[in-house]
């Protein structure tokens, strides 16, 4: 069993909540713990409740956890909103007098965080005082936070470092003088050499860089902007370039142009921007130009809940745009896959000369977690059927058959600048040379050629399973929900129930064959997804039937899924399925 | 060295007499005279009769979607700055559906050339009002005459800071070829608006109309193409019926403004990371 501690800080947005969370999380990570951090925030700059949940564990986790042991509250709202998560015996630190929500045995300790910070030099250091109080409660020393404090403040001078550490000490001492309650921190696991603390968005940017992407065209949008921030930092160092496009239509067309021009390029967005890209998606499909689009999904429709998570763009990723063309849709299920799937995405886009959509979401993108599994060793760049100068020898200029009808449906591709490779890439239907035409036979040949490209797709299995085919209940999810569903499965197994978990990371082409034995073998299926229509469930029904044993566990209120919600729904389904 | 025949491709299907022939012809001449290699060139076109230009010109081409030739062309250029990149399209393509991109391409100043075949009408879709249709012009979609003020592309270009603003006329290929040559040679974004008559759907803005109304700035010794505000005034006075290079000035390109952006075409290089790169990159996450 994972041993863990749930910690949260909350207050008014813009009041230093983020830095408190980051200092605590980084310190725990560096001590060797596995940390998962989820930020709850609103679409405004100042005011409104925000909180930062940090779950600290002795094993790798990819969920922020349902429970809370220690809450630092800078205002009453934090207490009111988060009280229900507190475990019995947990501690709430309140910066001033605050009221408990009920009479459960939760310690509510008033500690003058802001006044102590003022004594240490400035009220803004109240977050450091809170860190010190935390240290006292969980048995760490103020010095344990020193390296992280130095990283953050060394630029501003030793004095600032000292006063921050002093503020930590103040909180630490104050707690020890007035209170005795301690919470147990699990024993720190040995520090792994690949122990990284990284968000999905950061891993996506790194993956793109590793894949050789050197042109990013993007228009800012939460929760995808951080990918741009990372690449703004990385790309120039490797000769590449970032363009802040005027809109997402421009961004996606720039990416198409750059890929056509021979440099790996992508665009990254969230729902509203993804919708603006639909027409161009078809251009990439029809002109067979490689294209990678990352959709860090957020709650829709329209502007929806712009700072909240959702997995509701699945239909759009699978079906968006007019006409019919092949596409690949990937949904990384862990932060490591955010890295490795980006490399895959670029390889697949060039191999199959089609758009590849990487569907992440706010929860995956903006949460940060510890991982030991991100492995640059997996990176291999494969550029598909790009022709060599040798292969172009003897081709009469203008006669290069860019859209040659081949057996595997994939045609040779030339890059501008190559001698003998001249061709026109186009969105109009065309013949093998790329000339616009309306001949019915050639139309059928070209449509069938494009459709054939993915027939033999077998690059990624797309299905990660724990458990047997013949489960009483099989939980199925896709993308970012892997961690929470896995924990729900463990909870159900612990209750003696025979439950399997299958997580999909490839959604197009749909991994029908890998999924079939699980769908056919299980007594019942519970498809868990963060949307209201059961978009994944509908895909399973479409490809595998079995309508009458497929149930849904849906969440669409803006908050990420909890383990308990899945467990509860699973039990409901199993009770209905097994009347006793 | 490439000859004229090297810049020819598919046989055009434009209506006989269409102004776009003149544009194609001028671009071919300009390319030969500049000594360009057709396979080091990319023409990105939008959708419209004008958008077919990429198929008829002998370089690499990308016949994109309606209104998006500019972002696509900018993407091509960023992928390989060693290529000569042009964007081309119609007045509907560039000043209607794609107008936003036009403004941003000018302020971004990536080194590409933009040719607009401005026939004041939607040709390919058989004769609807265009954003440059003159007020009062009768079309299928404005049977009682266009009511809206037309877009003024030259004014927009001049006030947006475009570093090269010119206007040509398909009826004067020699002048147009000279303009296109200078536009391609200009470092930074260059814009050439071209009166390119649609002989089928626009009976108002005809060759005869332009021949009798258009004045060449080359013929006017007082015209100063180095003065943006003077150009704005002269273009306004002439009701935009001027041809020639109307303004040329120096501006830092987007490419040069990004000091670390590779001076060699990105597409001509391999992009892999070394073990040392990873050590450096991953240090931020430890
Ligand atoms: C998104 C979209 N909307 C509408 C069209 C239909 N359409 C094609 S060309 C065109 C207008 C063409 O006019 P212009 O750009 O002036 O080109 P011309 O044919 O006159 O050269 C339109 C409306 C389209 N192809 N795509
Ligand atoms: S319809 Fe007009 S613009 Fe189109 S080809 Fe004919 S003349 Fe040219
Ligand atoms: Mg037109």
- Judge whether B72 and B28 are in contact, CB under 8 Å: no
- The pLDDT value given to residue A580: 45
Q: How many domains does chain A have?
A: 4
Query: Is residue A352 located within the same domain as residue A400?
Result: no
pLDDT, tens digit (0-9, with 9 covering 90-100), for B191-219:
999 999 999 999 999 999 999 999 999 99
Residue at A35 is within a domain:
yes
Q: Nearest Cα to A514, choosing from A457, A554, A471, A566?
A: A457
Structural domain contains residue A189:
no
> Taking the CB of residue A84, how many other CB atoms lie within 10 A of it?
10
Q: Tokens 């501008």 label which residue?
A: A416
Q: Does A183 reside within a domain?
A: no
Task: Let me know whether A440 and A390 are in one domain.
Answer: yes
Ligand 2 site residues, Cβ closer than 6 angstroms: B 14-15, 18, 20, 49, 119, 123, 198-201
Residues A231 and A367 in one domain: yes
Chain segment A368-387, per-residue pLDDT in tens: 999 999 999 999 999 999 99
Rounded to the nearest whole angstrom, what is the distance from the C-alpha of residue A411 to the centroid of ligand 1? 29
pLDDT at B1: 86
CB B61 within 8 A of CB B55: yes
Q: Do residue A416 and residue B6 have CB atoms under 8 angstroms apart? A: no
Q: Is A243 within 8 Å of B272 when comparing Cβ atoms? A: no
Question: Is the residue at A186 inside a domain?
Answer: no
Question: Same domain for A364 and A294?
Answer: yes
Picking from B83, B100, B285, the nearest residue to A416 by CB comes out as B83
* Chain B CB within 8 Å of residue A256 CB: yes
Going along chain B from its start, the domains and CATH numbers come out as 9-258 (3.40.50.970)
Burial class (CB in 10 A: 0-12, 13-18, 19+), B229: exposed
Any B CB within 8 A of A257 CB: yes
CA of B41 to the centre of ligand 2 (A): 25
**How confident is the model over A207-250, as pLDDT tens digits?**
999 999 999 999 999 999 999 999 999 999 999 999 999 999 99
- Does the predicted interface ipTM exceed a cut of 0.90? yes
pLDDT along chain A (580 residues), means of 10: 91 85 97 96 82 96 97 96 97 97 97 96 95 98 96 94 96 98 95 96 98 98 98 98 98 99 98 98 98 98 96 98 98 98 98 98 98 95 97 92 98 97 97 96 98 90 96 98 98 97 98 97 98 98 96 97 98 74
Chain A: closest CA distance from residue B10 (Å): 8
Q: Is residue A268 domain-shared with residue A311, that is, in the same domain?
A: yes
- Position A455 in a domain: yes
- Residues A278 and A290 grouped into a single domain: yes
- In 3-state terms, what secondary structure has residue B43? strand
Do A227 and A297 belong together in one domain? Answer: yes
Of A234, A263, A427, the CB nearest to B63: A427
The pTM assigned to this predicted structure is 0.97
Calculate how far, in angstroms, residue B113's C-alpha sits from the geometric centre of ligand 2.
23
Give the sheet arrangement for strand B190-195, strand by strand.
Answer: A424-426, B60-63, B41-45, B84-90, B113-118, B190-195, B164-169, B242-248, B215-216
Residue A39 pairs with which residues in a beta bridge? A52
Helices within A235-330 (DSSP H only): 248-260, 271-276, 278-287, 314-319
Q: Can you tell me the distance from the alpha carbon of A429 to that of A411, in angstroms, rounded to the nearest whole number?
A: 15
List the one residue out of B251, B104, B227 whose CA is nearest residue B163: B251
What CATH number has the domain bearing residue A468? Answer: 3.40.50.920
The alpha carbon of residue B65 is apart from the nearest alpha carbon of chain A, in Å, by: 7
Rounded Cα–Cα distance for residues A162 and A158 (Å): 6
Whole-number pLDDT of residue A343: 98
Note whether B73 and B87 are within 8 A (CB).
Answer: yes
pLDDT above 70 for B109 = yes
CB of A251 less than 8 A from some CB of B: yes
Helix axes A126-138, A113-120, angle to 10 degrees: 110
Cα–Cα distance for residue pair B176/B179, rounded to 1 Å: 5
What distance in Å separates the CA atoms of residue B153 and residue B240, rounded to the nearest whole number? Answer: 9
Cβ within 8 Å, pair A261-B79 = yes
Whether B96 has its CB under 8 Å from any CB of chain A: the answer is: no
Closest CA to B130 of B192, B49, B209: B49
* A117, A83: one domain: yes
Question: How close B2 comes to chain A (CA, Å)?
Answer: 12
Min Cα separation B285/chain A (Å):
5
- Distance CA(A238)–CA(B234), nearest Å, equals 46
Q: Any CB–CB contact under 8 A between B126 and chain A?
A: no
Mutation for B interface: A200, A234, A254, A273, most B CBs within 10 A: A254
> What residues does ligand 1 touch, defined as CB less than 6 Å away?
B 47-50, 66, 89-93, 117, 119, 121-125, 130
Residue A51: give its domain's CATH number.
3.40.920.10
Query: What is the predicted pLDDT for the residue at A420?
Result: 95
Specify if A185 maps to a domain. Answer: no
User: Could you say which of B104, B266, B272 has the minimum Cβ distance to residue A263?
Assistant: B266
Both A364 and A422 in a single domain?
Answer: no
Domain shared by A141 and A28, yes or no: yes
**Any A CB within 8 A of B185 CB:** no
Angle between helices B173-185 and B20-33 in degrees, nearest 10: 50
From CA A167, how far away is CA A122, in angstroms rounded? 9
Q: Which of B198, B206, B207 to mutate to test the pocket of ligand 2 (most atoms within 8 A of CB)?
A: B198
In terms of domains, do A160 and A230 share one? no
Do A364 and A263 fall into the same domain?
Answer: yes
Report CB contact under 8 Å: B269, A262. Answer: no
- In total, the C-beta contacts within 8 angstroms joining chain A to chain B are 208
CA of A132 to the centre of ligand 2 (A): 76
Candidates B147, B124, B125, B123; CA nearest to B136 is B147
**Helix, coil or strand: residue B33:** helix
Domain boundary among A378, A410, A440: A378
**Hey, which residues does B62 pair with through a beta bridge?**
A425, B44
A281, A293 in Cβ contact below 8 A? yes
Digit-coded pLDDT (tens) for B263-285: 999 999 999 999 999 999 999 99
**Residue A188: inside a domain, yes or no?**
no
Q: Is there a contact between B88 and B43 (Cβ–Cβ < 8 Å)?
A: yes
Chain B contact for A491 (CB, 8 A cutoff): no
| A-chain residues near B283 (CB < 8 A) | none
Domain assignment of residue A443, given as a range: 385-459
Examine residue A486 and state whether it is found in any structural domain, yes or no. yes
- We report the CATH number of the domain holding residue A307 as 3.40.50.970
Q: Which pLDDT does position A577 carry in this prediction?
A: 55
> Of A360, A378, A396, at which residue does a domain stop?
A378
Q: Is A105 helix (H, G, I), strand (E, B) or coil?
A: coil
């Amino acid at each position: 069993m994972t041993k863990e501690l749930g910690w949260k800080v909350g207050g008014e947005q813009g009041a230093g909540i983020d830095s408190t969370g980051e200092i605590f999380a980084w310190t725990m990570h560096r001590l060797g713990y596995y940390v998962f951090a989820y930020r709850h925030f609103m679409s405004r700059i100042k005011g409104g409740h925000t909180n930062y949940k940090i779950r600290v564990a002795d094993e790798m986790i990819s969920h922020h956890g349902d429970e809370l042991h220690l809450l630092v509250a800078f205002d009453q709202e934090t207490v009111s909103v988060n009280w229900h998560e507190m475990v019995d015996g947990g501690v709430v630190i309140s910066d001033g007098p605050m009221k408990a929500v009920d009479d459960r045995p939760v310690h509510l300790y008033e500690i003058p965080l802001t006044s102590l910070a003022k004594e240490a030099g400035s009220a803004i250091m109240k977050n450091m005082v809170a860190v010190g109080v935390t240290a006292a409660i969980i048995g760490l020393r103020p010095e344990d936070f020193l390296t992280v404090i130095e990283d953050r403040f060394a630029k501003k001078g030793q004095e600032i470092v000292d006063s921050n550490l002093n503020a930590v000490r103040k909180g630490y001492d104050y707690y020890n003088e007035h209170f005795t309650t301690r919470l147990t921190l699990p024993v720190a696991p040995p520090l792994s050499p690949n122990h990284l603390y990284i968000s999905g968005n950061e891993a996506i940017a790194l993956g793109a860089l590793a894949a050789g992407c050197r042109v990013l065209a993007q228009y800012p949008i939460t929760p995808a902007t951080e990918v741009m921030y990372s690449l703004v930092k990385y790309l120039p160092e490797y000769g590449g370039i970032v363009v802040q496009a005027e809109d997402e239509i421009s961004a996606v067309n720039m990416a198409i142009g750059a890929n056509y021009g021979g440099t790996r390029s992508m665009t990254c967005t969230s729902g509203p921007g993804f919708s603006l890209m639909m027409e161009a998606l078809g251009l990439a499909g029809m002109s067979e130009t490689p294209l990678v689009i990352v959709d860090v999904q957020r709650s829709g429709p329209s502007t929806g809940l712009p700072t909240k998570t959702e997995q509701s763009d699945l239909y759009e990723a699978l079906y968006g745009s007019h006409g019919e063309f092949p596409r690949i849709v990937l949904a990384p299920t862990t932060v490591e896959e955010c890295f490795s799937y980006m490399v895959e995405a670029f390889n697949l886009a060039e191999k199959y000369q089609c758009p590849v959509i990487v569907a992440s979401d706010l929860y995956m993108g903006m949460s940060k977690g510890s991982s030991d599994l991100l492995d640059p060793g997996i990176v291999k760049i494969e550029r598909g059927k790009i022709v060599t100068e040798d292969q172009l020898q003897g081709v009469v200029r203008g006669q290069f058959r860019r859209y040659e009808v081949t057996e595997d449906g994939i045609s040779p591709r030339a890059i501008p600048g190559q001698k003998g490779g001249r061709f026109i890439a186009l969105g109009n239907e065309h013949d093998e040379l790329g000339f616009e035409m309306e001949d019915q036979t050639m139309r059928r040949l070209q449509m069938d050629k494009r459709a054939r490209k993915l027939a033999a797709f077998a690059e990624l299995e797309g299905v990660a399973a724990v458990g047997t085919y013949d489960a009483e209940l099989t939980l199925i999810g896709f993308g970012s929900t892997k961690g929470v569903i896995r924990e729900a499965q463990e909870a159900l197994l612990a209750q003696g129930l025979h439950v399997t978990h299958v997580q999909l990371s490839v959604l197009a082409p749909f991994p029908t064959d890998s999924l079939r034995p699980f769908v056919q073998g299980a007594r019942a299926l519970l498809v868990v997804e963060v949307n209201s229509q059961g978009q994944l469930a509908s895909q399973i029904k479409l490809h595998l039937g079995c309508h009458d044993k497929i149930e849904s566990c849906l969440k669409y209120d803006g908050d990420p899924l909890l383990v308990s919600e899945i467990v509860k729904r699973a039990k409901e389904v199993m009770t209905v399925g097994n009347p006793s | 060295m490439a000859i004229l025949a090297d810049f020819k491709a598919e046989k055009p299907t434009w209506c006989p007499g269409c102004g776009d022939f003149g544009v194609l012809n001028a671009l071919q001449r300009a390319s030969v005279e500049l000594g360009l290699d057709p396979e080091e060139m990319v023409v990105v076109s939008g959708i419209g009769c004008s958008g077919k230009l990429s198929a008829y010109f002998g370089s690499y081409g990308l016949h994109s979607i309606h209104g998006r030739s500019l972002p696509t062309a900018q993407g091509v250029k960023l992928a390989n700055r060693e290529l000569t990149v042009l964007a081309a399209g119609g007045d509907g393509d560039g000043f209607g559906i794609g107008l936003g991109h036009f403004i941003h391409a000018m302020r971004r100043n990536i080194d590409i050339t933009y040719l607009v075949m401005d026939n004041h009408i939607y040709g390919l879709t058989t004769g609807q009002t265009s954003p440059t249709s003159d007020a009062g012009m009768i079309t299928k979609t404005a049977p009682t005459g266009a009511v809206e003020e037309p877009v003024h592309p030259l004014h927009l270009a001049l006030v947006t800071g475009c570093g090269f603003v010119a206007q040509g006329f398909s009826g004067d290929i020699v002048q147009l070829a000279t303009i296109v040559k200078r536009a391609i040679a200009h470092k930074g974004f260059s814009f050439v608006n071209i009166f390119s008559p649609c002989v089928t759907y626009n009976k108002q803005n005809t060759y005869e109309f332009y021949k009798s109304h258009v004045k060449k700035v080359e013929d006017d010794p007082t015209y100063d193409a180095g003065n943006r505000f003077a150009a704005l005034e002269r273009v306004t006075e002439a009701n935009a019926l001027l041809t020639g290079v109307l303004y040329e000035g120096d501006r830092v390109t987007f490419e040069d403004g990004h000091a670390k952006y590779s001076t060699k075409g990105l597409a001509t290089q391999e992009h892999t990371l070394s073990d040392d790169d990873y050590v450096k990159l991953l240090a931020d996450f430890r």
